[in-house]
Structure 1
Amino acid sequence: MNAPAASPAVAVRDVTLRDGLQLTGKLLDAQRKAGLARTLLAAGIPELEIGSMARGDLVPPMANSLELIGLLTAEELERCWIWVATPRHVEKAAAAGARNFQYCFSVSDAHNRANIGRTAEDSLAAMPEAVSRAQAVGGRIQLCLATAFTCPFDGPVDPDRVLEIVADPRTAGSCDVVLADTLGQAHPQQVGELFTAATAPAAGRRLVYHGHDTWGMGVANALAAVDGGAQVIDGALGGLGGCPFAPGASGNTATEDLLFATRPDYLTPQVLGTLVRAGEELLADLGEQNRSRTAQGARSEASAFGWVLTDG
């Protein structure tokens, strides 16, 4: 008998195809990306992050994101998010067929300059136009705040500044608020407190936690975010990922680990097996280490445990 869900109200969003791939040295064929997206969607993952409008010369693994958007159906794209940083990004992605946009900038100026080439205030000032362009095509747009806990250049980030941005009227029109532990340096109490404090200024918008597992706190931080009010938590297959403009960041919290911890209704041993195999195949092709503890456990010899794979 399966254990009851630890956090039945939370959804796991898989970000393998964006944040997961962006530090790898290999550009996956768009058809391969589309196949992986369909595997994840068919498994029951409710939402995916599938690509980025970052310049291909700066983030090569994202160079075919527009091609990928064009390969997916409108129904599939309803469950997929595209990373954007400017109104022009929204326009280009929308023209390709995207309807869900994750408008991202950093709370810290130093990281925003490294990542996007402008100050956080400049990014915030441009958000109303990005919202307008998303709404013009009947789309949705998220406010995504990178370095919501620490910055690789400036150190600890003032939580009051995070809350000020969440409450800023220029973010009105966004459907969700994503708070990112870009470096994976946060701890559970810190995460829980920020999400609890963000509930009021979010004013009904969904709260999303995007975490990295650099210091081994990925799952614990995600569950603390849920306790603080997060309704969505991000992960990548095998713990793949990291930011090319954030020294010290390692991979995302593993999707497999988050699913095993939260036990959504669609997660069966068979579905978990499908995801473990998909992650293993992807990481082997990329020459990357599999950091998922759940994937390791699924390959153990504890055959009496129903979640262990039996295909060798």
Structure 2
Amino acid sequence: MTGPVLRDVTLRDGLQLTGKPLPTERKIGLVRTLLAAGVPELEIGSLARGDLVPPLADTLDVVAGLTPEELERCWVWVATPRHVQKAVAAGARNVQYCFSVSDAHNNANIGRDTEVSLAAMPDAVRFALDAGGRIQLCLATAFTCPFEGPVDPDRVLRIVGDPRTEGSCDVIVCDTLGQAVPSEVGALVERVGEVAGGRRVGFHGHDTWGQGVANAMAAVSSGAALLDGALGGLGGCPFAPGASGNTATEDLLFALRPQWLSPAVLAGLVGAGEDLLAELGEPNRSRAAQGVRSRAEAFPWTAGPR
């Protein structure tokens, strides 16, 4: 596959702030819809405490409902070595070990300083690799923190270059609040790539300030090989005041035009997003979805009103 990989994170980051739960079987069905459409990778849930993030409390049930072949393309968010053990025991093959670059957000999100999370990573890596799986290093608040403000890029680079992160297959830098601009994203992704030691570099963006697609394209130009998005721009972090939805999967796909995408496939994904957002009572923030529903019949990417 040429070009960056699109990972849809609707079922993890997308659902975190929703007030209405999505049934487990509905989640499994959406996983299969997205995979059948050709979406290369998915993030399907989190092992965050169910009482703190209720929409994701059934993540292990979702994992148990998928086939090994489906799970090869799916990722589960984890924050501790124990999370890794639970995820792989349920059948997960890929885990995203996530902590924040800023101490204040890591304490709000996970309940410990950044150094504590970093110190635990070798055990997390060992548990994942011993199970034959893969593990990512995911760095939240890589650009700004809701409590501390701008984050020093050198702090990000020190974590990426720390020997305790060895064994991870990817490094994901996150614009958790959607406050970064393309020049910042491009510069940091390039510098991360220089110290990542051959690991795939990914970018997870939010569209809070309208820079989601621009930031993603800047990341790609600087070497990012993985981009995260959510259907309809759904999502946000419950522990990050000021964060809003993810960059929309539909918008990223329309900009990237991967080989597997066709107008019919995009229209199908737009429909899947519309159905999900209507079910959850959430607004659709995707501009590409609006375009697909337009009446510009001479443009091959439009499908007209539903």
Normalization by structure 1: what TM-score?
A: 0.97
Deviations 1:122-146 (A, max 9, x none): 0000000000000110000000000
Q: Distance in 2 between matches of 1:106 and 1:199?
A: 19
Structure 1 counterpart of 2:277, one-letter code: L
Are the counterparts in 2 of residues 8 and 263 from structure 1 also a CA contact under 8 Å?
A: no
Q: Does 1:300 align with 2:298?
A: no
Structure 1 counterpart of 2:73, one-letter code: R
Aligned with residue 47 of structure 2, among 37, 53, 59: 53
The answer for the alignment partner of 1:138 in structure 2 is 132
Deviations 1:56-81 (A, max 9, x none): 00000001000000000000000000
Identity %: 72
Aligned with residue 166 of structure 2, among 167, 172, 179: 172
The answer for the alignment partner of 1:64 in structure 2 is 58
Aligned with residue 114 of structure 2, among 95, 113, 120: 120
Deviations 1:25-77 (A, max 9, x none): 12211110000000000010000000000010000000100000000000000
Structure 1 counterpart of 2:196, one-letter code: A
The answer for the alignment partner of 2:28 in structure 1 is 34
Shift of 1:310: 3.8
Q: Which runs of 5+ in 1 are unaligned?
A: 1-6
The answer for the alignment partner of 1:86 in structure 2 is 80
Shift of 1:199: 1.0
The answer for the alignment partner of 2:271 in structure 1 is 277
Are the counterparts in 1 of residues 294 and 305 from structure 2 also a CA contact under 8 Å?
A: no
Structure 1 counterpart of 2:239, one-letter code: F
Q: Distance in 2 between matches of 1:147 and 1:228?
A: 19
Q: Distance in 2 between matches of 1:299 and 1:52?
A: 33
Query: Size of the alignment, in residue pairs?
Result: 306
The answer for the alignment partner of 1:262 in structure 2 is 256
Structure 2 counterpart of 1:75, one-letter code: E
Q: Distance in 2 between matches of 1:222 and 1:176?
A: 17
Structure 2 counterpart of 1:202, one-letter code: A
Are the counterparts in 1 of residues 101 and 139 from structure 2 also a CA contact under 8 Å?
A: yes
Q: Does 1:187 align with 2:181?
A: yes
The answer for the alignment partner of 1:4 in structure 2 is none
The answer for the alignment partner of 1:217 in structure 2 is 211
The answer for the alignment partner of 1:229 in structure 2 is 223
Shift of 1:8: 4.6
Normalization by structure 2: what TM-score?
A: 0.99
Q: Which runs of 5+ in 2 are unaligned?
A: none
Are the counterparts in 1 of residues 144 and 177 from structure 2 also a CA contact under 8 Å?
A: yes
**C-alpha RMSD of the superposition:** 0.9
Q: Distance in 1 between matches of 2:246 and 2:85?
A: 28
Q: Distance in 1 between matches of 2:108 and 2:204?
A: 19
Paired residue secondary structure (2:21): coil
Deviations 1:148-178 (A, max 9, x none): 0000000000000000000000000000000
Are the counterparts in 2 of residues 301 and 308 from structure 1 also a CA contact under 8 Å?
A: yes
Q: Does 1:19 align with 2:13?
A: yes
Structure 2 counterpart of 1:42, one-letter code: A
Q: Give the ranges of 4+ consecutive aligned residues of structure 1 lying more than 6 Å apart after TM superposition.
A: none
